[in-house]
Amino acid sequence: MTTGEAVPVNNFIRSIINEDLEKNKNNGKVATRFPPEPNGYLHIGHSKSICLNFGIARDYQGTCNLRFDDTNPAKEDIEYVDSIKEDVKWLGFDWSNLHFASDYFDQLYDYAVQMIKTGKAYVDSLSAEEIREYRGTLTKPGKDSPYRNRSVEENLDLFERMKAGEFEEGAHILRAKIDMASGNINMRDPAIYRIKKAHHHRTGDKWCIYPMYDYTHCISDAIEGITHSLCTLEFEDHRPLYDWVLDELKTESHPQQIEFARLNLTYTVLSKRKLLELVKNNYVNGWSDPRMPTIAGFRRRGYTPASIRNFCEIIGVAKAHSTVELGVLEHCLREDLNKNADRVMVVLRPLKVIIDNYPEDQVEEFDADNNPEDPAMGNRKVPFSKVLYIEKDDFQEEPPKGFFRLAPGREVRLKHTYYIKCENFVKDEQTGEITELHCTYDPESRGGGTPDGRKVKGTLHWVSAQHALKAEVRLYDHLFTRTNPDDKDIADYKDVLNPNSLETINDAMVEPSLAEAPIGKGYQFMRQGYFCVDSQDSKPGNLVFNRSVSLKDSWAKEKVKA
């Protein structure tokens, strides 16, 4: 763990594990797993599950496997497998073992045969629609399929032929024989195998029948000797099925399924189906678009692994549904970058300033501290010369009350260097735009004060025009305009996409030290926010920066109020 990170707090899952350890259940072993389906990129919700599962393994000297739940070949892809591995590693975790549910296809098949032999599974030949009808509803019990009492021999024969590819998709399915009148719909003879003539990214064309998720998941857990199978609340109603399958199969190990509430975030959708839609229909620029709530998106945006881990600690793990403010996540990033990011000067919207009394060809280099809160982060040189840029909105021709920056006749401090005073300005008469300021500097103010002790109220950041590098800067805002894009009154979440979620500034001016800014390093652009080099589009000589997060911390303020 990096210093400054939140210490894992107790939660109800850790309490269960503590009790189990006291009773020496599972011989004192703790084994968890993170089981993504490789049908999309991981998102911030997954990091909650990752931090929980890998964090428990770390703190209890246990194990945590990464297991791909790859039972739906139509939707899965090796690109997703690779991205998931990369994201888990980037978050700072490593798996004890890497598994694929598809590695268990032979065993899963054998178990299905075993269930047929013990009379606990049968081949059904109703159509999908009939099966739906027969299933009943929450208030109405289901009824038995006419095929439910096929003999073991007939079931074995049909299942074998399903595997051999003799039937079309949908002609037959294998179902567990449980109880069509159960109050729990998941127990009404759930499907455990279906025919699917699809190429699988790992097993190729070996199989044309694939096991269903519920059946696969519990058996995979048991095969791997998982002790605590942690999943999100929507699986609570599936737990009786999880236990039923393992009891019927008399597996050596019987993991305990424990459910927790999934993460929901304001201004965010976390459904893989929706994220895929945003990518496929080009509402965003791919899975790693910095506006996406994917781990790849956050990484490119400039989030640090520590900030995300910290966030997952802060929000805790509970049974109750809740929605977390996006501001909490942003707060975690600011906290990390405030400590670790170098301060640099970048002018986003440049206004030219000419220091009339400064020698034409003179260049002075000033020492600038990288982080005023941490001298160990060192200094760098910033060049100063006659022509500078400051931020357009740091000048006002007619300053309102409370505006302490530059105005005609007004004096301010330029960070790290001198006091300057605005003597006059040039205005484009047609557009009304201020195009140039003429100032004088006070050589005696070098270092931030003057012998006469006069005070100035404003300190501005600046860059030297001849030394600055032009850069593109991308300012991001929420991807959605509504706190809950899935709200009932919104017909389609895409209707509330924020048209201003990306603002591109093409001619920002950055101080020369940023020429070699490495990918993955966070910077504080003084008075602007935290930024990083864009990992995909930035090139030497054509720098592109992403705003990771602004400086304003609305959440911290709310905390103080509360």
Name the one range near ligand ATP by CB under 6 A: 37-45, 133-141, 361-369, 431-439.
Answer: 37-45
Residue with tokens 């269960």: 16
- CA–CA distances in Å: residue 368 to residues 41, 106, 371: 41, 65, 9
Is residue 535 close enough to count as binding ligand ATP by CB under 6 A? no
Q: What DSSP character marks residue 434?
A: E
For residue 166, indicate whether it is catalytic. no
d(CA 512, CA 467): 6
Please, are residues 79 and 46 in contact by the beta-carbon 8 Å criterion?
A: no
262 noted as active-site residue: yes
Q: Is 293 in the site for ligand ATP (CB under 6 A)?
A: no
Nearer to ligand ATP among residue 270 and residue 296 (C-beta):
270
Contact code string over 245-284 relative to ligand ATP, x by CB under 6 A = -----------------xx------x-x------------
- The footprint of ligand ATP on this chain (CB under 6 A) covers a number of residues equal to 14
CB of 340 to ligand ATP, least distance (A): 27
Cα–Cα dist 348/525, whole Å? 9
The per-residue DSSP string of 160-227 comes to HHHHTT-S-TTS-EEEE-S-TT-SSGGGSS-EEEEE----BTTTBTS-SEEE-HHHHHHHHHHHTT-S
Subset of 407-426 contacting ligand ATP (CB under 6 A): none
Q: In b/e form, how buried is each residue of 384-398, taking b as 16+ CB within 10 angstroms?
A: bbbebbbbeebbeee
Which residue type does 83 have?
Answer: S
Which residue's CB is nearer to ligand ATP, number 164 or number 233? 233
Q: How far is CA 538 from CA 301, 381, 515, 546, in A?
A: 13, 23, 11, 10
Per-residue interface string for the shown chain with ligand ATP, residues 323-362, x marking contact by CB under 6 A: ----------------------------------------
- Residue 322 tokens read as 């809740």
What track of x and - describes contact with ligand ATP for positions 432 through 471 (by CB under 6 A)? ----------------------------------------
- Residue 89 annotated to the active site: no
Gyration radius (Cα) of the chain, Å: 31
Residue among 14, 26, 32, 36 that touches ligand ATP (CB under 6 A) = 36
Catalytic residue among 5, 37, 86, 160: 37
Report the residue number whose CB is nearest to ligand ATP: 45
Looking at beta carbons only, is 36 or 190 nearer to ligand ATP?
36
Q: Map tokens 């006070």 to a residue.
A: 442
Measured from the CB atom, the residue of 229 and 417 that comes closer to ligand ATP is 229
Instruction: Tell whether residue 35 is a contact of ligand ATP (CB under 6 A).
Output: yes
Strands (E), 196-319: 209-211, 228-232, 256-260, 264-265
Nearer to ligand ATP, 273 or 427 (CB): 273
- Residue 73 within binding range of ligand ATP, rule CB under 6 A: no
For ligand ATP, the closer CB: 38 or 350:
38
Q: Which stretch binds ligand ATP (CB under 6 A): 35-43, 125-133, 333-341, 523-531?
A: 35-43
User: How far, in Å, CA of 162 to CA of 165, rounded?
Assistant: 5
Smallest separation (angstroms) from ligand ATP to the CB of 157: 34
203-242 residues in contact with ligand ATP (CB under 6 A) are 231-232
Where in 38-57 is the site for ligand ATP (CB under 6 A)? Answer: 39, 45-46, 48-49
Which three-class secondary structure string do you get for 74-89?
Answer: CCCCHHHHHHHHHHHH
Residue among 29, 120, 175, 272 flagged as catalytic = 272
Name the minimum Å distance from CB 323 to ligand ATP: 11
CA distance 221 to 257: 10
Q: How is 15-49 classified by DSSP, letter by letter?
A: HHHHHHHHTTGGGG--EEEE---SSS--BHHHHHH
**Number of residues assigned to the chain:** 562
What residue ranges bind ligand ATP (CB under 6 A)? 35-37, 39, 45-46, 48-49, 231-232, 262-263, 270, 272
Q: Catalytic residue numbers?
A: 37, 262, 272
